[in-house]
Structure 1
């Protein structure tokens, strides 16, 4: 099951948010084999936020980008190893679990380290090179690894000691035992009374008895001995082999690994591994262990699957779209989509709202439109067509609205729309930059880069109160986006008129067909649509 994100454009308006929300709901119905998640790549405007609050619905969450991150290639092991587990268990796991070459060592939920076949190889090489190895044994692991039982357990839970075998004649054995310079060894010995008593006298930390059948023949006073005594039910050679594997796996961790974060960019993580000697690294979300990655994880870069709604051009899309796999486009704007690797579903119609197209797709798939979805779709259509008054409005928008009003149980579309638009932020009281960028689209025509923002209001009577502030901020937006021209369309949805604020561009301004009402301000009677009315005029003056 794949996660597929459904996203509107940057600086999302009502139609962008509502179409993403509703289309994700539709796709989850018709394609249950995948999970469709509605997202937004910009801030919610106040009208959209208020509308979702009225409905008691949660709007699409914000997603910064769809660039491939480490989280896409995390390997999650279904087997964990405790720090105290014997190395024997790890070797058994390698034998029985061919799928894994890496195992996380976990102490409860706390990550301790990663252990691989390399650590086991180093462990075996280390004990066979140089001087007699000293092991850090956990006494409790004796009975986990070696067939047998304890006669007694000493006070020490862990023992740092080498190994010795009591197989020589007593004189030689005694000389060897007294010759230990460091910690005394764990003694592996048969039922040899003198050897055992000497070991007790020398206070060896543990005695492992082999070749015992039933009770020991020798009369040993175990009460005077403070160490552990374990009876192995296998021969001496096998006991020695298994005893080495009683070492806890935590002893294999000789170096502390750096870690990666799940939200780290794929390319950054791949470069980090390429420039270091590590083969595997743990991955965290904050402080929570998520899994690990290996060098093989970065051989192929997985792409995030994305559906674009209410836009089709990459420069209006969520950051990282060039790395994503676009699988569908649902839109009502002019086509400027980038090339795709494979054939994809595109539904692009010259309607007043993307939400109208989404409603038609519900009908095509014979999927029931719930009351909540009807309210969401209705909001997108009423907003983008400005209560069906915009010249972009089509007959199909009208019929969709009529159907959705009935499903949603809404009696009066105009009251619904006025309530929705009144929920928008006041331009006079709001941050100018935020309002300009809330629904700001960039274009390029005849070598000129320009951008147009739009905001719907219920009166234009107070424009003079904030005109200077917004013109000043338009200049900042122009510089921020490296534009030649920045414009802001303020639309009165009640009286169906607009005011246009713009930065200076004298050559183009003198060709505008609108009445100039002041510095940087033009009156646009009966203009409601940026796409169908204002944009063609701006393109005309640029081309001329």
Structure 2
């Protein structure tokens, strides 16, 4: 199986704290010996985060569109076991036994599957008692019989021609044999014999298709000369009669037995597609193909039981509704967060650190201190940026004494002045017109929540003054309504926060049937004034959860 991958990842529509805490915590875990961990992101970076990463010369974390388990996540590192189409069935049985497998891809010279050989089907055909005619039947060529018996061809005729043949053993006297063969079509016969010259002569004179002489016994020259005249193939094998009889039945080339209709998948396909292909089928597995159609691997029902090699450490969130797609289908190892608890459940105990701090970066910084580790200047700068961003330069009500202490410590570790660095961050990224679209203004820091059985979503954007917002509020309101309908939300809103004045405006769009009183001064339809409100999490969200709750 491929090597385990552990991703430290924040929520979808990541803000600065989400990205910076993911990078910083991944680095901490690396320093603590967790080598397979690395940071990731669950969406595009906003302008503020891009500015910070550029300032600190830190590369963007890997983008994960989803972590849904895929076929490639459960593949073995070992090359697949396969067999050429012209190989005898005996070789296939050896491979079945040697590798303890139940299916075997039959491939061409370019390793492209021509069909699939199933052990169960082979067993039903060759081991289950049936009519005598079927037990005698051998579909093979002289060449495949020769390979199967590890024989020497003393004389060969049309050695590669596949034919339906009947298998007989000359375990009788010459007269009895001659009588038995009187009404047989010996041109379609494989005869297993020893060194009884009279039987050999009768068989060759009657044009037996393949004569197998066992035990490496000598074949008289006159018999060979007769075989050349009668166009009879003569093989000499070291095996005894019983073994030769059994192996001859297994001389059929596997290409003739393979089922040409079989399940095939690509490495990027979801595990659920493998489940759908196999759980309601009697076949034990499927082929996994490369882009050129060649065989990459074989997957079976046992692969469905293997855990995904991808594992997650969640930072800055603890609800599946905010997590990267597929988070519910992989193992979550840790959660590092400063938000309210959601409804996420895990199969086994995990490390869960949740503290009422102004930012997740603050929490990660405390973990560096607890581990007696000093972050590199760039990592310290990232944590300082995330802290200052989430606490709005420590002005937010969410800011605590610990946040202020950590800001000072991170400033010393990074060589940055927190106040000056914070002003640069917000000055460079506070203009709404700098966003690529109004949709991006709404979605760049948009989070969804649940209240009273319904769902709502609130975005937040930080500005210096409300003048630009007022010129765009009509278009922003239309964008909020489109988003509400697209996502089937009861309410959508945009919290516009003036980081200098320390106040906010809330623009909302909601279902006309939604009965609630906003509880804030209303400036106009859908627009409310929120004096002293800076924090969506600590000030706005608790208020909305209360007003949107159904009446008791």
Contact 1:428 1:462 in 2 (8 A): no
User: How far, CA to CA, are the matches of 1:541 and 1:230 in structure 2?
Assistant: 92
Cα offsets for 1:264-322 (capped at 9, x unmatched): 6666654654444334344557756442222x666799897543321123333344555
| Deviation (angstroms), 1:237 | 3.4
**Structure 1 residue aligned with 2:535:** 529
Contact 2:438 2:475 in 1 (8 A): yes
Contact 2:48 2:425 in 1 (8 A): no
| Deviation (angstroms), 1:227 | 7.1
Normalised by the length of structure 1, the TM-score is: 0.79
User: How far, CA to CA, are the matches of 1:393 and 1:74 in structure 2?
Assistant: 47
Superposition pairs for residues 483-498 of structure 1, below 5 Å?
483-493=489-499, 497-498=503-504
Which has the higher mean CA deviation after the structures are superposed, 475-484 or 317-326? 317-326
Residue 129 of structure 2 is aligned to residue 124 of structure 1: no
Superposition pairs for residues 127-526 of structure 1, below 5 Å?
128-129=130-131, 131=133, 133-137=136-140, 141-142=144-145, 144-151=147-154, 156-165=159-168, 167=170, 169=174, 173=178, 176=181, 179-180=184-185, 184-190=188-194, 206-213=210-217, 216-218=220-222, 220-221=224-225, 229-254=234-259, 256-259=261-264, 270=275, 273-283=278-288, 289-294=296-301, 305-322=311-328, 324-367=330-373, 369-408=375-414, 410=416, 414-415=420-421, 418=424, 422=428, 426-427=432-433, 430-445=436-451, 449-457=455-463, 460-493=466-499, 497-503=503-509, 511-513=519-521, 516=523, 518-524=524-530
Cα offsets for 1:70-103 (capped at 9, x unmatched): 6666678766131333322333344444x53444
**Structure 1 residue aligned with 2:88:** 86
SS in 2 for 1:511: coil
Contact 2:87 2:144 in 1 (8 A): yes
Q: Summarize the Cα distance change of 1:534–1:130 in structure 2 as closer, same or farther, 3 Å threshold.
A: same
Which has the higher mean CA deviation after the structures are superposed, 198-207 or 17-26? 198-207
**Structure 2 residue aligned with 1:57:** 59
SS in 1 for 2:83: coil
Contact 2:140 2:162 in 1 (8 A): yes
Which has the higher mean CA deviation after the structures are superposed, 394-403 or 419-428? 419-428
Normalised by the length of structure 2, the TM-score is: 0.78
User: How far, CA to CA, are the matches of 1:373 and 1:177 in structure 2?
Assistant: 93
Superposition pairs for residues 16-35 of structure 1, below 5 Å?
16-30=18-32, 32=34, 35=36
User: How far, CA to CA, are the matches of 2:380 and 2:338 in structure 1?
Assistant: 19
TM-align CA RMSD: 4.4
| Deviation (angstroms), 1:489 | 1.5
Cα offsets for 1:349-399 (capped at 9, x unmatched): 122211221222233234553455334434422322234443323343344
| Deviation (angstroms), 1:258 | 2.7
Which has the higher mean CA deviation after the structures are superposed, 306-315 or 296-305? 296-305
Structure 1 spans left out of the alignment, 5+ residues: none
Contact 1:333 1:348 in 2 (8 A): yes
Q: Summarize the Cα distance change of 1:291–1:409 in structure 2 as closer, same or farther, 3 Å threshold.
A: farther
| Deviation (angstroms), 1:331 | 0.6
Which of the residues 6, 9, 13 maps onto 2:8? 6
User: How far, CA to CA, are the matches of 2:217 and 2:345 in structure 1?
Assistant: 79
Cα offsets for 1:123-164 (capped at 9, x unmatched): 314795353555343655556543443446656435324145
User: How far, CA to CA, are the matches of 1:251 and 1:175 in structure 2?
Assistant: 31
Cα offsets for 1:324-344 (capped at 9, x unmatched): 554422111123344545433
Count of equivalent residues? 537
| Deviation (angstroms), 1:409 | 5.4
Contact 1:155 1:226 in 2 (8 A): no
User: How far, CA to CA, are the matches of 2:243 and 2:49 in structure 1?
Assistant: 73
SS in 1 for 2:92: helix
Contact 1:17 1:60 in 2 (8 A): no
Contact 1:382 1:417 in 2 (8 A): no
SS in 1 for 2:439: helix
Cα offsets for 1:187-244 (capped at 9, x unmatched): 5445577876887787766543334446744363477787754321233332222222
SS in 1 for 2:334: strand
User: How far, CA to CA, are the matches of 1:416 and 1:177 in structure 2?
Assistant: 104
